[in-house]
Chains A and B, each alone.
Chain A
Amino acid sequence: MERFFTLFINPVLNKEIKLRFRSFKSFLGIFFYLAICGLVSLAFIYIESTFGYGGFNATDSRNLFMVLAIGQLGLVTFMTPGLTAGAISGEREMQTLNILLTTQQSSTSIVLSKLFSSLAFLVLMLFASLPLYSIVFLYGGVSPSMVVITFGFQLLSMFTIGSLGVMFSTIIRKTMIATITTYAMMLFFLVGTLILFVISLRFSMAYNPGSVSGGNEYLPYLFIMLNPIVTLFTIYEPSAFSYELQATGIEWPLWSGFVISYFLIAIVALIISIRRLRPSMKVKTRKKKE
């Protein structure tokens, strides 16, 4: 228990948080972010209540919520690679990694601290935006559980893409290349999955012409469940993509596939980072060849 505890409350995390939040830049970042979100919301409300049909009603409120939530999800997925892909390689480039690796900190605690501290700023930003959602509550149309689910989505997307960022940062020496790779990965999740979904769906339709409740076509489902924005949207609008998903013959709601796959990806990425952070000191024997 205590060991588990020290994984999260440890000097590396402490240091990272201290150094990151010490700067005025962090404060400015949150300030402008909230200012922009607030302005967008106010503008939305203003436009709807002035020009919209029947003023700013519950439907408008729900739409505003979706815009904010999906916008935030997009922002989170866009910022995460930049924040995490330098976690380990940045220390390597600063020439501080070697010293850190000769301390008593376990690889697990270094990797997790790095991940959580890189994401801490985004989490803070998310929580700081909570009051904005109260505007939406004021006008109705959204249940509190929806807000919780949305937060969960944003956190999980951040966690998984962040873990990939840390993994690339560990196995690739240069922050630059690690960042590009992580962005490519993120684009794959946001755009690539959608394209592959459409293509694979076409193929499965072609093989099973006219059959809507088709055969066992997993592929389209497997692609689209990796897309956080589409998945979140299907929670808001269960009718979205329902026809296409029916064609895959998988009854599972998309979000469960998303949650499971994202957790798996994150865990695998973290395990790889932890194992690759320090060199394996074992002398490789040649016996295996015989």
Chain B
Amino acid sequence: MIEIINLTKKYGSFTALNNLNLTIEKGSVFGFVGPNGAGKTTTFSILATLLAPTSGTAYVNGYDVTKDPKQVRKHIGYMPDFFGVYDQFKVHEYLDFYGASYGVPSKERQAIIPQLLELVNLTDKKDSYVDLLSRGMKQRLCLARSLIHDPEVLILDEPASGLDPRARIEMRGILQELKNMEKTIIISSHILPELSEMCDYLGIIEHGNLIASGNVNQIQSQLQANKILFVSVKQDIDNAIAFFENDLNVQLVERDDKDEQLLHVSYEGSDDDQVQLLKKAITKDIPILTFSQKQSNLEDIFMEITKGEE
């Protein structure tokens, strides 16, 4: 499990990470989303003991990254956003080297390396030189590498970047398997829909601030200032428009381009208010045919909240 407490990182006067607080339970997959420069890599580097925070701290499996980095390293598998490979190594030698560097005994390495290659689908590349692998293959090899010492926590910085659609789906499968193995995973990406499929929980970060976190639904309600209600009425559409425009929580009422009877109501009230609104409409004899809420796309919301603050 990972606990991030008041984590702040400043580069000179620039705040890359502002008082971040986050708890990731054991066995869950947490997705970290944000635009370029939001502070994802900064957070991950601190968790991987590669960067000292300016203040605050983080605990990995109960070990403080600022006080006990050696123990933290034992418990994490880290995959950086950009990484190189020793070009003269063959795939199995590459894994063997890191296994040895993590202190995995030779016998265990011999046993686990074929399993890892199997997991990331690189068994037939066992004897290739690593620099001859394609980018996506290197990415998968790096993931296998981060698992060599069987860490409980995985810190994966954009593991899916550079993967083709098929490999992305495979990556999702691998993550699912790792999740079944009770590993705690924190993963970053720019692409919200992709993450929301892979992760149990999401955190949205921007300019070093965590602006929303929770499961997908919670995020939606946290981020969505106003929901769109679709209301269709049988007749008297002008009357209906007047009614909705009268409500304090309604910001805008628009008619649909195609459907004569359909209204788009921008609404910012709570769920309870929404119930009351419908009740009131019915008592006012507005002939409501359907009343529904627009399922808005997470990506739209993400684009909405991260725009214009540059």
Contacts and interface: CB of A to CB of B under 8 A. Distances in A.
A94 interface: yes
Given A19-B89, A99-B83, A104 B73 contact: yes
Among A11, A96, A278, the one with the most B-chain Cβ atoms within 10 Å of its Cβ is A11
A interface secondary structure, majority: loop
Interface stretch (A146-154, A222-230, A280-288): A280-288
Contact of B101 (A22, A94, A104, A278): A104
Main secondary structure of the interface of B (DSSP, over half): loop
A98 interface: yes
Interface residues of B, number: 36
Contacts of A283: 52-57, 66
Nearest to B82: A95
A14 interface: yes
Contact of B102 (A19, A104, A278): A104
A11 B97 contact: yes
A45 B98 CA distance: 52
Interface stretch (B43-51, B119-127, B205-213, B286-294): B43-51
Given A15-B86, A19-B88, A281-B65, A99 B98 contact: yes
A101 interface: yes
B100 interface: yes
- Most B CB contacts (10 A, CB to CB) among A102, A105, A283 go to A102
Nearest to B94: A15
B50 A102 contact: yes
B116 to A, nearest CB: 15
B86 A14 contact: no
A174 to B, nearest CB: 16
Interface string A205-242: 00000000000000000000000000000000000000
A278 B100 contact: no
Given A99-B145, A102-B76, A104-B73, A278 B49 contact: yes
A195 interface: no
Contacts of B78: 98-99, 102
A116 B112 CA distance: 30
Nearest to A279: B52
Contacts, number: 81
A94 B69 contact: no
Interface string A1-38: 00000000011101100010011000000000000000
Contacts of A101: 49-50
A65 to B, nearest CB: 38
Contacts of A15: 86, 89, 97
B100 A14 contact: yes
A103 B102 contact: yes
Interface residues of A, number: 26
Contacts of B149: 104
B85 A279 contact: no
A100 B101 contact: yes
B128 to A, nearest CB: 16
A100 B61 CA distance: 21
A53 B86 CA distance: 57
B80 interface: yes
B162 interface: no
A12 B101 contact: yes
A104 B84 contact: no
A14 B86 CA distance: 13
Contacts of B76: 102
Contacts of B66: 281-283
A98 B102 contact: no
Contacts of A280: 52
Contact of B49 (A95, A96, A102, A105): A102
10 contacts: A10-B100, A11-B97, A19-B88, A96-B83, A96-B85, A99-B78, A104-B74, A281-B65, A281-B66, A283-B57
